[in-house]
Structure 1
């Protein structure tokens, strides 16, 4: 059966209800299109149900634990049945934590669904595949099948955790990041394989919650690809908090034992723990989507190839989010989706500018970045000025007991235009915004430094760093 939309309206079909999909649907509906969104699970996609919302909720609990752990330096004493010498005991009830996390994810999924319905979007639970250039085949959850005709199609199908043949997750002891929320007790010893953003975030969170953590990193330092100074600070903090970081150590296999798991490293070393989290990347959900039939090109990794306005190789078909491999961030997926619909429906649009994208690693301390990187500076040392200001010199940071972190700004030599920056510290995700606005609007270090800031405030380090880049004319 083929289902037609209202012939008087633009016809938009969106496959996938994650940030790229639901944001695109809202824009398309606002522009007057007749919009149908098909999501196999629930609105919000994996970002809401298993990835971003759950992980950052877990990290929020871990942050509170971390703050409590630092409170002794501020003169706070926690007392219970424990002796006064050890300051009392604070523990995390993982069953209660995960119950709260899943409730938050459920509420967010409901909010998104209700928002789509209010906007006039037809949200359908089911599986969708491309049936051609302008057709989508749908199998609803109840079994009903039909084909939708569309003038515009958006693919926002996300990605799933990569699995290794020698380390197959079982959902009990060997886990992907989507399976952690079924645990009802804290792991005694969690081995995290992979030191990228996901691995570092969960290693940081579980260490703060009181779990013994071993982080297996195949690289020389954690967070490969991130700012090197930031990675150095984070690794120092990890080790200082008792985390066992195994650098230049590649996991060859992970197997169950009678009491937990055993990770065998490529050099023959063996690490035993109670649980293992596999954080070794993700794979786009593009297999079986019908891309070849529709003439949509993918690269060697299976990601859909798109341009700056989210167009695929086939006219009328757009893609957004982790399935494109542009940047695996919910904010980027949402922007891709919005740009796609604005372009498809004839509204004003500007191509995605990755240089202006702010990102954050939700470890303790957080690491926020935007724009130019240390690598860019190394490649253009005569064109770029940079300054790095430790947070432990900031009066507000001292009051809060913040000892680790810094502010770094990159600026164009001569003009002083701010090209990028890095913030390492608690709530760095909030502190990066002024630098992001400066990059977006091409502000200079003098313009940033002339802005009034509250005294005392951690954000004062941003203007202080900018003042250090002033050049006498």
Structure 2
């Protein structure tokens, strides 16, 4: 068993680990990346963000084609299978893996494949795919091992008709009906994907409303449009049992309902990948969901061991994870960090239509007794949306009724995750540049979706002027 010493060992090559490794390497450190899987990219690239968003994009294009009167003149509606869509998503995955592999090669960061376990506070044992073990030591460690779908013990995930959000990417057919248990971000996105392929979808929500962290108006909008597309949503339900056989799967709910489908997709919760790493012996105690507690600089109970990304829980976004990795790396290099990560992290949810928001919601502002007003721009009124045929949705601006300071940006509809960044940039400006007046006094290209900011700003200003 050989020993090798590095300045920093990074565990996990997803966005968080990659961001840290690149920052450390460019800062002159000798860094190695530890990855348990054969290819770099982490869950984001292989099982989460990239495949699901690539799937969603292709399904949306198919829906757009089939619903367009123009294309109906060219022929009948088309139908594509789930495996066909997956095959095209895998092409994106391959491109991402190739790109990210070159990052490590170009920056002289060796990638070591295997399972890592701490032997002591500065030493890892790495067991490779061939079963051979080696020892690696370092001054600092960064844990960015991500998360995996939560699996309750009484659900048989070995049965072919029960899948979690990782296993669904191995599906080799298009089911006639799908029961999705969990109406969070992942469940809602896959409800859109399957319904777009013409699959009957039952979406089971364990809570009172869908995506309750969103602004209520946006939450209501996505519920309405999923139902309009044919998704049956059932709120305040919990499973009693899940039984699968050769012909299908039966979900028994505590309310007494019994649902039958070809397939059940479990999309209810995530678990941090911390088991078997020997963290407890270092007084780093993951919680019941495998998540690690860190301070504001992403340090664990051992100050030289950092943790970032999904393994520390909220917000569990690839975008935030990358920035957390870079922040932690800066702290390692300099002992401090002269900047703080932005408090307002945008949320992107790739349902059909998609959702994105940044800042506070109406409910939060009401609870805080902040005098606010609302400006709307409905996509059906925007020329660009009329041209593209994507007229469902709206841009919503929340602002202080007296100072006009921007307090929240909420967008629902086509390109929402792109549109929100304009509002995010202005919100982040120091006063008085962060007010509604910016959008009222700025000339936007016409016709564009961005023009919605001017429309919404004028709509809101008319309420207070």
* Match in the other structure for 1:76: 71
TM-score by structure 2 length? 0.93
- Do the aligned residues in 1 keep the contact of 2:159 with 2:244 (CA within 8 Å)? no
* Equivalent position to 2:269, from 265, 270, 281: 281
Task: String of CA shifts for 1:132-169, please: whole Å, max 9, x gaps.
Answer: 22222212223332222211110001111011233322
What is the 5 A alignment of 1:62-461?
62-72=59-69, 75-80=70-75, 88-170=76-158, 172-346=160-334, 348-353=337-342, 355-442=343-430, 443-461=434-452
* Match in the other structure for 1:57: 54
Distance 1:244 1:282 in 2: 24
- Do the aligned residues in 1 keep the contact of 2:327 with 2:337 (CA within 8 Å)? no
* Match in the other structure for 1:85: none
Counterpart secondary structure, 1:121: coil
Indicate the RMSD between aligned Cα atoms, in angstroms: 2.0
- Do the aligned residues in 2 keep the contact of 1:70 with 1:401 (CA within 8 Å)? no
* Equivalent position to 1:464, from 455, 459, 465: 455
- Do the aligned residues in 1 keep the contact of 2:392 with 2:414 (CA within 8 Å)? no
Q: Bigger CA drift: 44-53 or 435-444?
A: 435-444
Distance 1:388 1:364 in 2: 20
Unaligned 5+ residue runs, structure 2?
none
Report the Cα offset of residue 203 of structure 1.
Answer: 0.4
* Match in the other structure for 1:84: none
Distance 2:71 2:369 in 1: 46
* Match in the other structure for 1:29: 25
* Match in the other structure for 2:8: 12
TM-score by structure 1 length? 0.92
Task: String of CA shifts for 1:225-276, please: whole Å, max 9, x gaps.
Answer: 2222111111111111122222222222221134211111111111111111
Report the Cα offset of residue 297 of structure 1.
Answer: 4.1
Distance 1:393 1:274 in 2: 41
Distance 2:294 2:186 in 1: 25
- Do the aligned residues in 2 keep the contact of 1:79 with 1:89 (CA within 8 Å)? no
Distance 1:450 1:132 in 2: 60
Q: Residues 207 and 249 (structure 1 numbering): CA distance in 2 closer, same or farther, change over 3 Å?
A: same
- Do the aligned residues in 1 keep the contact of 2:65 with 2:77 (CA within 8 Å)? no
Report the Cα offset of residue 79 of structure 1.
Answer: 4.9
